[in-house]
Amino acid sequence: MEQRGAQPVTQDKLNLTGSQSGWRQFKDKFVGYGVTFGGTMVLVALLLIFFYLLYVVKPVFDSAQVSQGISISYNDNVQTVYIGSDEQNEIAYRFTSEGKLNFYDLVGKQGVPGALIQSDSIAQGGKVVATAHAMTHQETFAAATDDGYVYLVKPKFSVSYPNDVRTITPKLDFDLAPEGIEISEEGGDIAKLTFGYDDDAMTFAFVDQAGDLQLTKVEGEVNFITEEVEWSSSFAEVSEAPKGIVKMLVTPNQAELFILDDQRQVYLFDIEDADDVRLKQVLEVAEGKAGISDITLLAGASSLLVSSDNGLISQWFEVKDERGRSYQRIRDFDAGFAVKQLSTEFFRKSFAAIGENGEQAIFYTTSHREVLNIKFELNQVTKAGFNVRANSLMLDTTNGATFFIVDNPHPEISWSGLWQKVWYEGYPEAQYIWQSTSATEDFEAKLSLTPLVFGTMKAAFYAMLFAVPIAIAGAVYTAYFMSPKIRGFVKPTVELMEALPTVILGFLAGLWLAPLVEENLPGLVMTIVLLPVTMIVTAFAYHKMPKSWKVYISEDYRELILLPILLFVGWAAFAMSPMVEMWLFDGDSRAYITNELGITFDQRNALVVGVAMGFAVIPTIFSIAEDAVFSVPKHLSNGSLALGATQWQTLTRVVLLTASPGIFSAVMMGLGRAVGETMIVLMATGNTPIMEWSFFEGMRTLAANIAVEMPESAIGSTHYRVLFLAAFVLFIFTFCFNTIAEFVRQRLRERYSSL
């Protein structure tokens, strides 16, 4: 019996249905492969970013490399005072105890490699009786003659291009004192000499034949008529100086004189005023019975290095304590061999410890890092000197010199220097500090990432503290309690807030919100307290309102009652702020916080950042959390209500538990957004890398630091690579947050999926 109304299935319909099914399967497979390919490429992109960051960062942790170059033979038996090379490593120079500067060809452009190409005497009269050299970076040498005069010279290297071939020609620069300077009133009564100088003055300290220490201050003044520098000298005797002086050092600012005596003590004199030379401190630098082999000043002349024949090198610099400023022993380095000579770099805080038999160890003081320890077969090493780029090292022996190529581009970095407290020159104690640049070339770079990580966490914490309660509570109310009409307006509006550029939020926070908070701090505090209280009181009043009154309020628009009330309370709180400030804080809440509570108050602080960045994070958390709550199956909530549970019980025991994976993901997504935020923290904080939890002080975050300093960093420099390391740390942070979020979300989903 045929069924009425049934249409016969024809072959054409079967063919059409089959073709549609095949096309659908093709589209499903195509989309599946496309999604898989897209996801795979995302992972590949993340891995490429990860490995590229590692590629850029890795060189800062590499050890130094040294390779031996040519050797130079001497044709004399004269003692070497200083040895070095030009910055191109083409010409070596040697300053001898006879007051001569000898220049040697290192590459064979002007003859045989290692050949003597020029020899000049810097003394223009009399017999040389003493020689000395200034700080390493000054490359200046002095020769004292038996008539009591001192002649100063600098080696210079002029570059020319005859026949398009670069040619470096050495010459002597006598501009400091072309006619010599009289430093001894007794003629040639000079046995040992040291000096320091700057553009306007020179200070010479010398030991006379009787073993007494004499001091000569020379000041220059330009004659406006002849435009020549006229020098005037003042003489003094250092009566408290020890006998048996081994070595002397004068700082470039000519304020301090260090003297090493044969009793293994270092005497420190204040020589800023030649008429009032006084002994400041005696440093007990000896280590047990070990002898002191050398002392030298580190680049910048803020630290004194002392080497011993037991292999230990100690660093001393001034530290402020309850007694004032005094030199203290800060850190030690162990070379592992008897140190014969110390050589410092021109500008960095690196130094080389040289053994008598060719041992070499290179250290960086700030990072407390040994970057090299190697030995070459050399005998009787007496002197060592870096070139200006610190990419070569000359070692002098009794009968010649050896040239070494040094590859040590990033000695400033160590794990302890990046993450632990470091005792920097002049600071009272070890601290976490980020200060990557300065106006001086011999600046001690402070590259601790700890305050940047701390600032990142601080900014994220205050942003989440502000955003999470508002976003989660708003999402729950919007999805569960709010009428569909109002929800259809509120949800798109909040999501539209996410499209607001963060640079605009940062601009408003820095130029409008920060001054507003500073001027109305009591009003802001009252607003934060009163708004939640007002909402609760209003809700309670609505609940107790007579039903006859509620008839006039549409259920669809009851939430709008809160708007005028909250606006009025916020306005009233700020309007009453001056009165409250006058009543409680004598009219100046900022002064009260600073003076009475002892808390630093910055206008652009963590409170401002928390509000501004919280405003940027709220849409992300709200949107995801609202979708999670709204997506809870209705049969779960309806079943709970049908069993007699109240709406609140249904919300807390059914809806929120089911939506908890999505809510947790929303919070973690917001946290990831807060950690990586750049423009708001860049514009709304003082960008000071401090480690204080106070919300009245600012901070510097990893992202903001990269944005500020990357344009000014030299490509390939240590600063440049450390900024990439900061980016790598930020990458790891966000990766960890997302991984934890996914793990917890899956566990919550498994736990509450049975609901």
Q: What pLDDT, in 10s, does the model give residues 363-421? A: 999 989 999 899 988 888 889 999 999 999 999 988 889 999 999 999 989 888 899 99
- Would you tell me how many other CB atoms lie within 10 Å of the CB of residue 4? 5
Q: What pLDDT, in 10s, does the model give residues 166-181?
A: 888 898 888 777 778 8
Last residue of a domain, which of 230, 261, 280? 280
Phi, psi torsion values for 56, nearest 5 degrees: -75, -35
Q: What pLDDT, in 10s, does the model give residues 11-51?
A: 665 565 666 677 788 888 888 888 989 989 988 998 999 99
pLDDT attached to residue 617: 92
Residue at 272 is within a domain: yes
Residue at 682 is within a domain: yes
Last residue of a domain, which of 280, 296, 315? 280
CA dihedral 749→750→753→754, nearest 10 degrees, is: -160
Round to whole Å and give the CA distance between 38 and 58: 30
pLDDT attached to residue 5: 52
Residue at 116 is within a domain: no
Residue at 327 is within a domain: no
CA dihedral 702→705→709→711, nearest 10 degrees, is: 70
Please compute the mean of the pLDDT values over residues 678-695 and round it to a whole number: 87
pLDDT attached to residue 1: 43
Between residues 86 and 596, the one the model is more confident about:
86
Please compute the mean of the pLDDT values over residues 507-517 and round it to a whole number: 89
Phi, psi torsion values for 238, nearest 5 degrees: -90, 95
Q: Which structure tokens are listed for 657?
A: 């538990």
Cβ within 8 Å of residue 412, ≥6 positions away: 348, 349, 364, 366, 367, 445, 447, 718
Q: Are 650 and 637 in contact (CB under 8 A)?
A: yes
Residue at 746 is within a domain: yes
Residue range(s) defining the domain that contains residue 534: 450-705+736-752
pLDDT at 677 over 90: no
pLDDT attached to residue 599: 84
pLDDT attached to residue 250: 93
Residue at 214 is within a domain: yes
Round to whole Å and give the CA distance between 550 and 60: 71
Q: Are 152 and 140 in contact (CB under 8 A)?
A: yes
Phi, psi torsion values for 236, nearest 5 degrees: -155, 155
Q: What pLDDT, in 10s, does the model give residues 185-228?
A: 766 678 889 999 887 889 999 988 888 888 988 887 776 776 67
Total number of domains in the chain: 2
User: Taking Cα atoms as reference points, which of 246, 236, 187 lies closest to residue 211?
Assistant: 246
Please compute the mean of the pLDDT values over residues 279-306 and round it to a whole number: 90
Percentage of the chain exceeding pLDDT 70: 95
The sign of the dihedral angle between the CA atoms of 465, 470, 475, 477 is positive
- Give a three-class secondary structure readout of 217-240: EEEEEECCCCCCEEEEEEEEEECC
Q: Which structure tokens are listed for 544?
A: 């107790």
pLDDT at 52 over 90: yes
Last residue of a domain, which of 234, 262, 280? 280
Residue at 332 is within a domain: no
Residue at 670 is within a domain: yes
- The mean pLDDT value of the chain amounts to 86
For residue 264, the 8-state DSSP code is S
Lowest mean pLDDT among 153-162, 423-432, 635-644: 635-644
